[in-house]
Amino acid sequence: MLRIAVLVSGGGTNLQAIIDRLEDGTIRNACIRLVLSNNKNAYALKRAEEHGIPAECLSPKDFDSRQQYNKALLKRLQEENVDLIVLAGFMVVIPPEIIHAFKNRIINIHPSLIPSFCGTGYYGLRVHEAALKKGVRVSGATVHFVDEGTDTGPIILQKAVGVRQDDTPEILQRRIMEEAEWQIMPKAIDLIARGKVHVENGRVRIEEEDE
Ligand code: GRF
C-alpha cells in the first residue's frame, strides 16, 4: 500500500478529489498517512479531519530559520515512512534535501499545460491571467514529478481544457480545476500506486498506455 503525504496551503479541493477517489476505490493500493499544511487556517486541514485523516500544521513562522524548517519537514515525512509526497497547492518551495531524499517520489499539480505559463511567478490566478492575455484557445493542467527546478520535472499526465472568449481568470481557474486537476491528480496517484509509472531518461513512461 502506497503511503501518501499531501502537502497543502489553502482550500484543498485537490485534496478533496484525492480523498473522494480513495473512498470510492478509484485510487487503488494507496492511503493518505498525513496532510500537512504550512498555514494553520488552511481549510484543507478541516477536510482531512472530517475524513479521519491525520492533519497538522508545520509553519516556517515557528522556526528560527528556513533551514531548521526544512529539516523538520523532512523529518516529519520520514517519520511517517511516506512513499509519495503530493503537492496540492503547497505554497512553500521544496528544498533540495527533500527533493533528493524523495527523488521521483514528489508530484505536483500545475494549472496549465506545461511548458506554457509555468516557472517562477506563475502560481494561482497569475497562470490564468497570463493564458488569457496570450489569447490561447486551450489551457489545462499538468501533473509532474518535482525536480530542482520550478515546474521542470518529468510530466506524468496532462489534460486540456478549452478557453472561452468571455473567460475571466477566476472562471478559467475553476473550469481547469473541475475538468482537469480533480481528474488527473487522482489518476496519477492511482497509476503510481499500482507501479505503472516509470521515469526513464528524464521522461515518464506509463505502462497502461502501452497496452
Ligand atoms: C490549484 O489551482 C493547483 O493547480 C495549484 O494550487 C491550487 C490548489 O487549490 N497548484 P486547492 O487548495 O487544491 O483547492
Show the cell assigned to 162. Answer: 478549452
| pLDDT at 209 > cutoff 80 | no
What is the tens place of the pLDDT at every residue in 91-120?
999 999 999 999 999 999 999 999 999 999
Nearest Cα to 108, choosing from 38, 192, 7? 7
Q: Which atom in ligand 1 lies closest to the alpha carbon of residue 17?
A: 13
pLDDT band at 208 (very low <50, low <70, confident <90, very high): confident
Q: What is the mean pLDDT of residues 138-162?
A: 97
Query: How far apart are the CA of 115 and the centre of ligand 1, in A?
Result: 18
Using left for φ > 0, alpha for ψ between -120 and 50, and beta otherwise, residue 200 falls in beta
Which residue's CA is the closest to the ligand 1 atom numbered 10? 89
Ligand 1: which residues within 6 Å by Cβ?
8, 10-15, 44, 88-89, 109-111, 177, 181
Instruction: Check residue 141 and give its pLDDT.
Output: 98
51 noted as active-site residue: no
Lowest-confidence region among 147-161, 166-180, 197-211: 197-211
Mean pLDDT of the chain: 97
The answer to whether 108 is a known ligand-binding residue is yes
Distance 130 CA to ligand 1 centre (A): 17
Q: What is the pLDDT of residue 210?
A: 59
Inform me whether the pLDDT recorded for 144 exceeds 90. Answer: yes
Q: What is the mean pLDDT of residues 174-203?
A: 98
Annotated ligand binding at 105? The verdict is no
What average pLDDT does the segment 181-207 reach? Answer: 97
B/e letters for 31-70, b = 16+ CB within 10 Å, e = fewer, are: ebbbbbbbbeebebbebbeebebebeebeeeeeeeeeebb
Percent of the chain with pLDDT over 70: 99
* pLDDT of 211 over the 60 cut: no
Q: Which atom of ligand 1 is nearest to the CA of 177?
A: 2
Percent of the chain at pLDDT > 90 equals: 98
Q: pLDDT digits over 28-58, tens only? A: 999 999 999 999 999 999 999 999 999 999 9
